[in-house]
Amino acid sequence: MASPDFDSIPILDLNQATTNKQQLLSDLRHALIHVGFFYIKNHPIPAAFLQALTAQTTGFFDLPLEEKHKSDKIHSPTFLGYSTQGNEITKNKKDNREQFDFANELPAPAPNESVQRIHEHLTGPNLWPSSDVLPGFRQTILEFHRQALDLSSELISLVAEALGLHPGALLDQYVVPGQQHRGKLIKYPAIDQLHQDDGDQGVGAHRDTASLLTILYQASDLPGLQVQNHAGHWIDAPAVPNTFVVNIGTGLEYLVRGVAVATTHRVLNPPARRGPRYSVAFFQGARLDRKLLPVDGLAPEVLELRKVDVVTDSGHQFSQVYREDPGLYAVLNRISSHRDVGVKYYPELAQKHGITVGST
Ligand SMILES: O=C(O)CCC(=O)C(=O)O
Ligand SMILES: [Fe+2]
C-alpha cells in the first residue's frame, strides 16, 4: 500500500546513532524516500556556538550597504560574497533576500596557470568584510563550515547505511578531500520592508541543485520555509529550537537512482511587523572534477520503494548537463542565479545559454 503523503517534517534523534541505530536508520530511510526533508535533534553543534553564528549573521547584514558591497560577488568569478536584495533569480523571478555566500578557503587558480575545467574558476578565497568592521566574523563562519561538514559527512554515511549500502559507499566515491563545499547566510526582510510589487518570494520554489545534503539552521523563530509534499501541497517547516533542517540535493537523488528524493521547497518573506528572518545554509557538495555514475549495490527491494509520481513546482534546469559534466553544471547554475556576475566572468557561456543581465 502506498504510504500517505507527509503533512509535517519528521524529527530524527541523532543520539540514536549510539543508543538505537536500527530505529534511526529505519526513520531515516522513511524520510529519504517519502519526504526528502527531516529535522535532526541532539546534533553535536553547541547551542552557544549557534548563538554566536546568529550574532555574526545579523552583524553582517546590519553593516552599511557600502561595507557589504566591498564583499560583493561581482568582484570575483567564484560567486562567493555578498548579493544585495533582488539580485538573485529563482524561477525567473527576483528573490527578496540578501545573502553572503562562503566556502572552505581554497586558493584561486594562479593567473597564468592553465585552468583545465571551467569549474576551477569557482574556487578561491572568500570575500570577507574587514575584521575592523566585523571582528570574529571570518573565524565564526569558517568554524561553522568545519562543524557543518563533519555533521553532513556523518549524515551521508548514515544515509548510505539506511539504503542498505556500506557506510562509505557514497562519501568514498563522490566526495574528495579539498573540494569546495558552499554555504550562505541569508536575510529575508518582512513584507512591510519591501516594495509593493516585490511580492513575497523570499526564494522561489526550487530543489537544491547538485549538492548531496543541505544542512539549514533557522536562526529566527519566524515562519517562511515551506516544503512541497509529493502531492503538491505546501507544508510549513517551522523553526524548531536546537535542530537543523536537512534536505536532499538533486546530486544525491541522482546518485542513489532516485531512491532519496530532492524535495521542492521555498521561503516566503515574514509577515508585516515581525522583522527579518535569518537562516544559514550549508550545502555538502559532490565532486565536480569528473562525470559521476550512480552508486551500485542498491537492493531491488530498496529500488522498488522509489517515488515515481512526485508533483513539483520547480524545474529541472540543466539536469542533463549535470549527468554529463557536474563542473559545467555548477557554473551554469551559478550564472543563472547571479546573472551580473555570470555575464561579467563567463560571457561566452552566458550567451550560449541565453542568459543576459536583463533577462528574466
Ligand atoms: O532560508 C531557508 O530557510 C531556505 C533556503 C534555501 O532553501 C536555499 O537557499 O536553498
Ligand atoms: Fe534550498
C-alpha of residue 350 to centroid of ligand 2, in Å = 23
Please give the pLDDT value at position 6: 95
Q: Is 263 left (phi over 0), alpha (psi -120 to 50) or beta?
A: beta
Q: Which residue has the cell 549500502?
A: 165
**For a substitution probing ligand 1, which of 279, 282, 314 has the most ligand atoms within 8 Å of its CB?**
279
Q: 147 vs 14, 104, 259, 284, CA distance in Å? A: 15, 12, 27, 12
pLDDT in tens, 41-52: 999 999 999 999
Residue nearest to atom 1 of ligand 1 (CA): 279
Q: Mutual orientation of helices 137-162 and 47-61 as an angle, nearest 10°? A: 130
Q: How many C-beta atoms surround the C-beta of residue 155 within 10 A?
A: 24
pLDDT in tens, 199-216: 999 999 999 998 999 999
Q: Which atom of ligand 1 is nearest to the CA of 283?
A: 10
Please give the pLDDT value at position 1: 42
C-alpha of residue 146 to centroid of ligand 1, in Å = 20
**For a substitution probing ligand 1, which of 181, 186, 211, 228 has the most ligand atoms within 8 Å of its CB?**
186
Question: ∠249-11-147 over CA atoms, to 5°?
Answer: 60
Q: How far apart, in whole angstroms, are the C-alpha atoms of residue 60 and residue 285?
A: 25
Residue nearest to atom 3 of ligand 1 (CA): 225
Q: What is the pTM of this model?
A: 0.96
The grid cell for 354 is 541565453
Tell whether ligand 1 has an atom less than 6 A from the beta carbon of residue 267: yes
| Exposure of 6 in the CB half-sphere (CA atoms within 13 A) | 25
Tell whether ligand 1 has an atom less than 6 A from the beta carbon of residue 186: yes
The grid cell for 355 is 542568459
Convert the chain into a string of H (helix), E (strand) and C (coil). Answer: CCCCCCCCCCEEECCHHHHCHHHHHHHHHHHHHHCCEEEEECCCCCHHHHHHHHHHHHHHHCCCHHHHHHCEHHHCCCCCEEECCCCCEECCEECCCEEEEEECCCCCCCCCCCCCCHHHHHCCCCCCCCCCCCCCHHHHHHHHHHHHHHHHHHHHHHHHHHCCCCCCCCHHHHCCCCCCCEEEEEEECCHHHCCHHHCCEEEEEECCCCCCEEEEEECCCCCCEEEECCCCCEEECCCCCCCEEEEECHHHHHHCCCCCCCCCEEEECCCCCCCCEEEEEEEECCCCCCCCCCCCCCCHHHHCCCCCCCCCCCCCCCHHHHHHCHHHHHHHHHHHHCHHHHHHHCHHHHHHCCCCCCCC
Tell whether ligand 1 has an atom less than 6 A from the beta carbon of residue 219: no
Write the ipTM: 0.99
C-alpha of residue 202 to centroid of ligand 1, in Å = 9
Low-confidence ranges of the chain (pLDDT < 50): 1-2, 360
Q: How far apart, in whole angstroms, are the C-alpha atoms of residue 165 and residue 296?
A: 9
C-alpha of residue 265 to centroid of ligand 2, in Å = 6
Q: How far apart, in whole angstroms, are the C-alpha atoms of residue 158 and residue 151?
A: 11
The grid cell for 224 is 517562511
List domains and CATH numbers for the chain.
11-335 (2.60.120.330)
The grid cell for 109 is 587558480
C-alpha of residue 242 to centroid of ligand 1, in Å = 18
| Exposure of 72 in the CB half-sphere (CA atoms within 13 A) | 15
* Ligand (nearest to CA of 183): 1
Q: How far apart, in whole angstroms, are the C-alpha atoms of residue 83 and residue 138?
A: 17
The grid cell for 264 is 521542492
Please give the pLDDT value at position 3: 53
CB 264 within 8 A of CB 277: no
Q: Which residue has the cell 524548531?
A: 240
The grid cell for 185 is 547566510
